A and B are shown apart, each in its own frame.
Chain A
Amino acid sequence: MTTTVGVDVQPTDIWAALDSALDLGSLRPKLADGVEVVRFETRWGSGYTMVKNPRGPAYFRFSAEDGEIIDMLDGTRTVRELVVDRMRDSSAFEFDNVVDLVALLQEGDFLEERWVETYALVGERLDSAAGRRGKSFRRFLRVQTVQVGPRMHDFVDFTYRWGGRYLFTAYAHVVLLTVLFGGAVLFYLDVHDKHFAISSKALATSFGLLFVLDLAATMIHEAGHALAIRHADRKVLAAGFQLYLGHPAFFIDSADIMMSTPRERVRQAWYGPYSGFVIAGLCGALVWFFPDAGMAQTLFNLAVLTYVTAAMNLIPFLELDGYWICMDVFQTTGLRQRSLAFLRHELPRKVRTRAAFTRFDWVLLGFGVIGAIFTVIALLTSYLFWKPVFGALVTKMWDGGVTGRVLLLLIIAFVLGPLVHWIFDMLRSLQRRIRFLVRRLRFKAELSWRREAGEMISNLPMLTMLPLDSLNELAGRAQLRQVSGGSIVVRQGGSASEFFVIRSGRVNVIDETPDGEEDVLRSMGPGEAFGELALLQGTPRTATVRAEVDTELFTIDKGSFDRLLADSVTSPELAPSVSALMSVWSMPPFRHLSARDSHTVAEAGRWLAVLPDIDVVKAGEQGDAYYVVGSGHLSVIEDDSFIRDLGPGDYFGEVALLLDVPRTATVRSRTPARLFVLDRAAFNKVIATAFRSGALRVTAADRMIQERT
């Protein structure tokens, strides 16, 4: 891109320097200043680690195991050293985990050395130059959000210091809870004794007033959250206004609370509805004390709206505040999905088989039952209690013609926005379930031939060691095709998109010569398969296949073939790599690796066969290789004394992957043994390949967390 002319050329090997600069295995990752790492223990599982990058800000959640790697990112170890250190701790060759993690943190700009996405920036600039006009409006239409920037935290901080902090004292709680419960009782009396109801003289006024009061209710709610965030010494990242499925609402970005303890998070989630209940109670009390005051009706309306907003937010199934509270109390992520899945699948099975419930099962069951009961009670109470409150207004608006009815529907949408959202979600889920049931019924109807397809595929001589799961999935994905005699199944030179197994009938494999003649190479019958080579090699079809008689074929699409079959196919040219892959997988340190990573390891390493009584490594000699025992037994000997036995799956020599260090012991074979050897050059190649692999990054990016607002 740039050239330097007329500079004194020093005898520097610039290519070696470039090599070294690009060698990510020698990178010494160090977390940037200000990056915050917090580890959380959970009642279930092994906990998790939250990492916050103030440049952004961005938040990642990692497993506890990844958290241990993050603790090691202090700039003292290279990536290669991290891999070897982890190997010592976990006995697994975790290069994929380490590289994933470092690459993810690097690309998220969490490391000391800044990361610049040059090409993405260029793309962004080109985009913005092309369509700057109307961009902000289009953005609003897309996200339906107007956001206020970082100054919001200053405002919250000011409010907290100048009074808000007293809301978190014990005395304040006594007062607030008195207002909350006392106000609720007085509100009940407002409705039943003083016959207050939502009403107004004109339709437009009713609509406008309810709209404004609804906004006020959400503002009170979000203010409660904001003060609780400040109380936890975290930051309110932003605030603003959004349309939540057509429902206008204020919001605050509370992602920073994820760095706090579960207790603080529960408090933060609770303070939204809590502040709503208190304000509503206060309004209810004022109305009861001053029923004839000019503001009484407005205060009553505000109380109603605030109660609705707060109660809605506490329904656990709505994934709002009530849900976040349950998640933090039960210390379980994805609580709703897991609970529903448990109720749907595990619970009937456990009841049927009379299996014992674990503590976690009780949590999932408890959440599901409480959530369902809460939802039913909320809906029932809404119907019974709010009828006298809203009845007059609803009747008046419904009788007010088309305009009145439209306004009424709008009000319902505003007030019940979250519920409407949930109903949409449920309908979508129901639609998915119906689709699933239809597929399942169709699948059952096709069960006989699918079973036959599975058996035929598993009996193919070209497939070895096909796992049962893959076989089942293949049987599910196979299609049955009928071809009439004389029809072409695949054409020579055509692109390959399917693999075929003959169920019945007969086909001829034909070589078409350039002068138009046909040469029948072979004939194939039931149980035989064709089309795998072109798929494996990514080449055009090498021959034409024509049905000799009416024929039935099982077909497997290319995607399923690549994913489920390709690794198990043994054709003469692929046999060595398949067998190498299986061998690598058979060793415990590599068992967790994906097919792609195993392939990398298989290609980089080599196998060594040793006879009994051979010194594989000798004490005092310099070593540069790591060994894993594939089969056989070896002895570790120090100063002529037997120290321990090494058997299949054991390994030794991992330090030699980093340094030329003298071997501290002799390792001698006791039986014929097969060892997998990874030397330093191969190790470096494995790390470099992993860094270059985009697929790893995609997997790692799944660990990014969703913002919780």
Chain B
Amino acid sequence: MDCWHCRKTALGACRFCGRGICEDHTETRPFILSVYRGGAGDTPRALVVEDALHCGKCTPRPSPVELSELDS
């Protein structure tokens, strides 16, 4: 697989969208593996990877998206 940006051989894939990235174009950002409720306040907690690969091209939407259709 080639790097999305420069067409050099990719060394990894973006954790968010799957695009290939070479070392020069690698960026990192936290990735949420799983969310659960716990602790005294039963507040949401997240298991995260602190420095997952990010291609810098895709835009993980920061605010959760409401999908009421999933209730049906």
Q: Is A694's beta carbon under 8 Å from chain B? A: yes
Task: Give per-residue flags for B30-72: 1 if the beta carbon is below 8 A from chain A beta carbons, else 0.
Answer: 1011110000000000101010000000011111111101101
Asked if B32 and A1 sit within 8 Å, CB to CB, the answer is yes
Q: Which residues of A contact B61 (CB under 8 A)?
A: 22
Q: Is B6's beta carbon under 8 Å from chain A? A: yes
Task: Give per-residue flags for A483-509: 1 if the beta carbon is below 8 A from chain B beta carbons, else 0.
Answer: 000000000000000000000000000
Task: Give per-residue flags for A117-131: 1 if the beta carbon is below 8 A from chain B beta carbons, else 0.
Answer: 111101100100000
With both chains docked as a complex, state the minimum distance between the C-beta of A457 and any C-beta of chain B, in angstroms. Answer: 26
Report the bound CA distance from A418 to B32 in whole Å.
47
Task: Among A4, A10, A118, A122, point to the contact of B63 (Cβ < 8 A).
Answer: A118
Asked if A119 and B29 sit within 8 Å, CB to CB, the answer is yes
6 nearest A-B pairs in the assembled complex, by CB-CB distance: A17-B69, A122-B30, A10-B72, A21-B65, A117-B62, A116-B63
With both chains docked as a complex, state the minimum distance between the C-beta of A693 and any C-beta of chain B, in angstroms. Answer: 9
Asked if A18 and B65 sit within 8 Å, CB to CB, the answer is yes
Q: Which residues of B contact A539 (CB under 8 A)?
A: 6-7
Report the bound CA distance from A21 to B48 in whole Å.
25
Q: Which residues of B contact A14 (CB under 8 A)?
A: 67, 69-70
Report the bound CA distance from A443 to B6 in whole Å.
35
Report the bound CA distance from A22 to B35 in whole Å.
21
Q: Which residues of B contact A4 (CB under 8 A)?
A: 70
Q: Which chain A residue lies CB-closest to B33?
A: A1
Q: Is A538's beta carbon under 8 Å from chain B? A: yes
The CB with the most chain B CB atoms within 10 A, among A10, A12, A118, is that of A118
Q: Is A2's beta carbon under 8 Å from chain B? A: yes
Task: Among B48, B59, B63, B69, point to the contact of A117 (Cβ < 8 A).
Answer: B63
Q: How many residues on B have C-beta within 8 angstroms of the other chain's C-beta atoms?
A: 25
Given A17-B69, A123-B30, A539-B6, A116-B35 contact (CB < 8 Å): no
Q: Is A40's beta carbon under 8 Å from chain B? A: no
From residue 445 to 495 of chain A, which have CB atoms closer than 8 A to chain B?
Answer: none
Report the bound CA distance from A539 to B62 in whole Å.
32
Task: Give per-residue flags for B1-30: 1 if the beta carbon is below 8 A from chain A beta carbons, else 0.
Answer: 000011110000000000000000000011
From residue 85 to 119 of chain A, which have CB atoms closer than 8 A to chain B?
Answer: 114-119
Asked if A22 and B65 sit within 8 Å, CB to CB, the answer is yes
Q: Is A692's beta carbon under 8 Å from chain B? A: yes
Asked if A538 and B33 sit within 8 Å, CB to CB, the answer is no
Report the bound CA distance from A588 to B70 in whole Å.
45
Asked if B6 and A119 sit within 8 Å, CB to CB, the answer is no
Cross-chain pairs A/B with CB under 8 angstroms, 25 sampled? A1-B34, A1-B35, A2-B34, A4-B70, A14-B67, A14-B69, A14-B70, A17-B67, A17-B69, A18-B65, A21-B67, A22-B61, A22-B65, A114-B63, A115-B62, A116-B63, A116-B64, A118-B62, A118-B63, A118-B64, A119-B30, A120-B62, A122-B46, A126-B30, A539-B6
Task: Give per-residue flags for A1-26: 1 if the beta carbon is below 8 A from chain B beta carbons, else 0.
Answer: 11010000010101001100110000
Q: Which residues of B contact A17 (CB under 8 A)?
A: 67, 69
The CB with the most chain A CB atoms within 10 A, among B46, B62, B65, is that of B62
Report the bound CA distance from A17 to B66 in whole Å.
10
Asked if A116 and B30 sit within 8 Å, CB to CB, the answer is no
Q: Which residues of B contact A2 (CB under 8 A)?
A: 34-35
Q: Which chain B residue lies CB-closest to A123?
A: B30
Asked if B34 and A538 sit within 8 Å, CB to CB, the answer is no
Q: Which residues of B contact A10 (CB under 8 A)?
A: 72
With both chains docked as a complex, state the minimum distance between the C-beta of B59 and any C-beta of chain A, in angstroms. Answer: 5
Q: Which residues of A contact B69 (CB under 8 A)?
A: 12, 14, 17
Task: Among A12, A21, A123, point to the contact of B66 (Cβ < 8 A).
Answer: A21
Task: Give per-residue flags for A175-214: 1 if the beta carbon is below 8 A from chain B beta carbons, else 0.
Answer: 0000000000000000000000000000000000000000
Q: Which chain B residue lies CB-closest to A11?
A: B72
Q: Which residues of B contact A117 (CB under 8 A)?
A: 62-63
From residue 130 to 150 of chain A, which have CB atoms closer than 8 A to chain B?
Answer: none
Report the bound CA distance from A692 to B59 in whole Å.
7
With both chains docked as a complex, state the minimum distance between the C-beta of A545 and any C-beta of chain B, in angstroms. Answer: 20
Report the bound CA distance from A540 to B67 in whole Å.
45
With both chains docked as a complex, state the minimum distance between the C-beta of A131 and any C-beta of chain B, in angstroms. Answer: 14
Report the bound CA distance from A600 to B33 in whole Å.
34
With both chains docked as a complex, state the minimum distance between the C-beta of A24 and any C-beta of chain B, in angstroms. Answer: 10
Q: Which chain B residue lies CB-closest to A537?
A: B7
Report the bound CA distance from A247 to B53 in whole Å.
46
Report the bound CA distance from A2 to B32 in whole Å.
10
Given A1-B33, A119-B60, A538-B48 contact (CB < 8 Å): no
Q: Which residues of A contact B7 (CB under 8 A)?
A: 538-539
Q: Which residues of B contact A118 (CB under 8 A)?
A: 32, 62-64
Q: Which chain A residue lies CB-closest to B36?
A: A2
Asked if B72 and A694 sit within 8 Å, CB to CB, the answer is no
Q: Which chain B residue lies CB-closest to A3?
A: B34
Q: Which residues of A contact B8 (CB under 8 A)?
A: 540
With both chains docked as a complex, state the minimum distance between the C-beta of A566 and any C-beta of chain B, in angstroms. Answer: 16
With both chains docked as a complex, state the minimum distance between the C-beta of B50 and any C-beta of chain A, in angstroms. Answer: 6
Report the bound CA distance from A22 to B30 in whole Å.
21
Q: Which residues of A contact B70 (CB under 8 A)?
A: 4, 14
Could you list 18 further interchain pairs (A-B, Cβ under 8 angstroms) beyond the known A1-B32, A694-B59?
A1-B33, A1-B34, A1-B35, A2-B35, A4-B70, A14-B67, A21-B65, A21-B66, A115-B63, A118-B32, A118-B62, A119-B62, A123-B30, A126-B48, A126-B50, A538-B6, A539-B6, A540-B8
From residue 667 to 686 of chain A, which have CB atoms closer than 8 A to chain B?
Answer: none
Q: Which residues of A contact B65 (CB under 8 A)?
A: 18, 21-22
Task: Give per-residue flags for A524-554: 1 if the beta carbon is below 8 A from chain B beta carbons, else 0.
Answer: 0000000000000011100000000000000
Q: Which chain B residue lies CB-closest to A18?
A: B67
Q: Which residues of A contact B66 (CB under 8 A)?
A: 21
From residue 683 to 709 of chain A, which have CB atoms closer than 8 A to chain B?
Answer: 692, 694
From residue 9 to 53 of chain A, which have CB atoms closer than 8 A to chain B?
Answer: 10, 12, 14, 17-18, 21-22
Report the bound CA distance from A117 to B72 in whole Å.
28
Given A1-B32, A2-B35, A17-B69, A116-B62 contact (CB < 8 Å): yes
With both chains docked as a complex, state the minimum distance between the C-beta of B24 and any C-beta of chain A, in angstroms. Answer: 8
Q: Which residues of A contact B32 (CB under 8 A)?
A: 1, 118, 122
Q: Which residues of B contact A18 (CB under 8 A)?
A: 65, 67
With both chains docked as a complex, state the minimum distance between the C-beta of A1 and any C-beta of chain B, in angstroms. Answer: 6
Report the bound CA distance from A428 to B8 in whole Å.
45
Q: Which residues of B contact A12 (CB under 8 A)?
A: 69, 72
Report the bound CA distance from A465 to B22 in whole Å.
36
Q: Which chain B residue lies CB-closest to A126?
A: B50
Report the bound CA distance from A538 to B35 in whole Å.
39
Report the bound CA distance from A119 to B60 in whole Å.
9
With both chains docked as a complex, state the minimum distance between the C-beta of B5 and any C-beta of chain A, in angstroms. Answer: 6
Q: Which chain B residue lies CB-closest to A116?
A: B63
Report the bound CA distance from A617 to B33 in whole Å.
53
